[in-house]
Amino acid sequence: MTIFDLTPQDLVENLRRRLKKSLGQNFLLDENITRLIAREADNLNPHHILEIGPGAGALTLALCKLNRPITVLEKDDHCARFIQNTFAPEIPDFDVIHGDALDAELPAFLSDPLARPILVSNLPYNVASQIYFRFIDADYPLVGMVLMFQREVAQRYLARPGAKHYSILSVVGQYYHDIEHVTDVSPECFRPAPKVTSTVLKFVPRKRELSHEEELQFRKLVHAAFALRRKTLVNSLSGFAGLDKTAWTQKLSSIGLDENTRAESLGFKDFIRILRTI
């Protein structure tokens, strides 16, 4: 018997008594979903895979079938030990890092474009976007990411200007990535079943039009613009970049935006145009 004879149920059974809600431990049971995630990752033609939060290893098992080097990063002691003991002896090129995805030292292959690194994860929901932003800030040459979020957060990444869920995550996420909806995942696909539906998204890096310095300014601008969501852009931006309301009214009008414009109606390209006026 090899590890590939095991099912997600077999893997999860080993950790059933050690589940930690505080670490968002809802383990996948549905092989259709783990296979789909692995296939979407494979379509990006990666070489070295990083999986965050392997848990009991259901998704890890599907990723191992791609026959590529895999590194997993897990915070929980029991899960890290279980994955080390179960996968490492059987899978060549398999490494386990025991640490927190928010601050652990990340492996060197992520910085190597020749490693064609990819990030794949059924993310712990309480820190999901923080982990996404850690990878954006580190500016790794990833070929992409396939990530599972709770559906409400995924909707924000996908929302277009004017839509209900349109927010800072939408503008900034869509600047860095083309973001595709892969599938929704119902609570019954997990053990224990979470209270919410989940969504898998695929992130493909976009060609970026701003320098690193400009990107930092762009993000500050977007945060300022959305800080007072109900207000007009002129009001929200008043004081930003040392400009008062009158100055902002002029700047916005110089690029064809009237004084009633609100942040929620603008796409990331509009924010780049606004940035260019200062």
Is residue 34 exposed (0-12), middle (13-18) or buried (19+ Cβ within 10 Å)?
buried
What one-letter code names the amino acid at 66? L
Q: Which stretch binds ligand SAM (CB under 6 A): 17-25, 150-158, 160-168, 169-177?
A: 17-25
For residue 46, state whether it binds ligand SAM (rule: CB under 6 A).
no
**Measured in Å, how far apart are the chain's first and last C-alpha atoms?**
64
Q: Which stretch binds ligand SAM (CB under 6 A): 54-62, 165-173, 238-246, 255-263?
A: 54-62
139 to 178: interface string for ligand SAM, x by CB under 6 A: ----------------------------------------
Determine the angle formed by the axes of helices 212-227 and 268-277, rounding to 10 degrees.
Answer: 110
Quick check: bond before 192 cis, omega within 30? yes
What is the nearest approach in angstroms of ligand SAM to the Cβ of residue 96?
11
DSSP string, 149-160: EEHHHHHHHHPP
For residue 71, state whether it binds ligand SAM (rule: CB under 6 A).
no
207 to 226: interface string for ligand SAM, x by CB under 6 A: --------------------
For residue 50, state whether it binds ligand SAM (rule: CB under 6 A).
no
For residue 24, state whether it binds ligand SAM (rule: CB under 6 A).
yes
Contact residue for ligand SAM among 52, 70, 171, 237 (CB under 6 A) = 52
Site size with ligand SAM, rule: CB under 6 A: 24
CA distance 101 to 185: 23
Contact residue for ligand SAM among 61, 64, 70, 79 (CB under 6 A) = 79
What is the nearest approach in angstroms of ligand SAM to the Cβ of residue 67?
19
What letter does residue 208 receive in the DSSP assignment?
Answer: P
SS3 28: strand
For residue 189, state whether it binds ligand SAM (rule: CB under 6 A).
no
Contacts (Cβ under 8 Å, ≥6 apart) of 96: 71, 72, 74, 80, 83, 84, 87, 88
For residue 54, state whether it binds ligand SAM (rule: CB under 6 A).
yes
Instruction: Count Cα neighbours of 217 within 13 Å in the Cβ-side half-sphere.
Output: 15
For residue 26, state whether it binds ligand SAM (rule: CB under 6 A).
yes
- Report the DSSP pairing between strands 118-122 and 49-52: parallel
Contact residue for ligand SAM among 41, 63, 127, 143 (CB under 6 A) = 127
Interface contacts to ligand SAM, rule CB under 6 A:
23-28, 52-56, 58-59, 73-76, 79, 100-102, 122, 124, 127
